[in-house]
Amino acid sequence: VLSLGQDFDFFYFVLQAMQWPGSYCDTKQSCCYPTTGKPDADFGIHGLWPNYKDGSYPSNCDPNDPFDQSKISDLISRMQQNWPTLACPSGSGSTFWAHEWDKHGTCSETVLDQHGYFGSALNLKAKLDLLQILQSAGINPDGGYYSLSSIKSVIQSATGYSPWIECNVDESGNSQLYQIYFCIDTSGSNFITCPVLPHGKCDSTVEAFRQLPCWRLGAW
Ligand code: 5GP
Ligand code: 5GP
């Protein structure tokens, strides 16, 4: 009997800062509110990405299983609230969700079908409640500056897991929080210690950050 094992080792669950600040805006020429309205002052989901322990990752694994919004119709209102797009021109989010499913989701389809994949990401965000964790430690989306170490240690003590934080630079050269990475087991439901941390661009951003040891969590 053939056992259909999963062909990846873990997931990165990646959240992006939406309005504190909308750091995505500084990675692109512009950014736009979704057609469904101004996003909450919260984190939004970027994606749930199957990865290998060596740091590499599969992508675009199944062209025969394209994104089909009718498979997640019961999740749409939660998707709009928790997984909004900041890309221009303004959209409802479905282009972003389709990109994430086609590129990443198809690589974990032996474990999670489309409904399972998007449902898992929504459930992870709810279980984590990152906004509440930060706000109860006095870290608010108020345009203030907070140290990287305080943000990491607050998350570590609330969840038991140390997140990996990616920053970018705003127009004025301030280092700002961009994305927060957590690691998830292959079932898509449990937080785990990261087998490997992301690398690439992120290293130099963190390097640049050391000279500017405060994160700007500004209003958009
Ligand atoms: P960037 O070049 O901004 O770091 O990443 C661009 C895109 O590449 C991400 O949005 C994601 O789709 C993919 N990517 C980057 N790093 C990783 C990674 O470590 N794992 C996976 N699965 N995808 C990644
Ligand atoms: P990745 O390949 O990096 O997983 O996904 C990023 C792709 O989704 C890019 O093509 C980007 O333009 C698009 N995208 C649409 N909306 C958003 C958004 O709100 N945030 C990010 N990071 N990418 C978005």
Q: Taking residues 28-36, report their average pLDDT.
A: 81
Cα 212 to middle of ligand 2, angstroms: 26
pLDDT of residue 53: 96
Tell me what pLDDT residue 199 has.
61
Q: How far does the centroid of ligand 2 lie from the alpha carbon of residue 3, in Å? A: 34
**Residue-wise pLDDT tens digits, 79-130:** 999 999 988 889 999 999 999 999 999 999 999 999 999 999 999 999 999 9
CA angle 126, 176, 10 (to 5 degrees): 45
Quote the CA–CA distance of 120 and 118 in Å, as a whole number: 5
Cα–ligand 1 centroid distance for 128 (angstroms) = 21
Is 99 considered catalytic here? no
Question: Is the pLDDT higher at 48 or at 165?
Answer: 48
User: Does the annotation mark 166 as catalytic?
Assistant: no
Q: Is 104 designated active site?
A: yes
State which ligand 1 atom lies nearest to the alpha carbon of 166: 4
Residue 17 confidence (pLDDT) above 50: yes
What's the pLDDT score for residue 20?
A: 52
Q: Residue 54 CA: which ligand is closest?
A: 1
Residue 49 CB less than 6 A away from ligand 1: yes
- The pLDDT of residue 48 is above 80: yes
Write down the pLDDT at residue 209: 34
Beta strands in 97-174 (DSSP E): 144-147, 164-169
Q: Rounded to the nearest 5 degrees, what angle is found at the Cα of 36, between the Cα atoms of 33 and 38?
A: 40
pTM for this predicted structure:
0.88
Residue 51 CA: nearest ligand 1 atom is 22
**Domains parsed from the chain with CATH numbers:** 10-217 (3.90.730.10)
Interval between CA 52 and ligand 1 midpoint (Å): 13
Please tell me which residue, 167 or 129, carries the higher pLDDT value: 129
Q: What average pLDDT is seen over the chain? A: 84
Cα 21 to Cα 60: distance, rounded to the nearest angstrom: 30
* Rounded Cα gap, residues 138 and 136, in angstroms: 5
Q: Given 99, 100, 166, 171, which residue is catalytic?
A: 100
- Given the cut 0.85, state whether the ipTM is greater than it: yes
How many Å apart are CA 38 and CA 20, to the nearest integer? 13
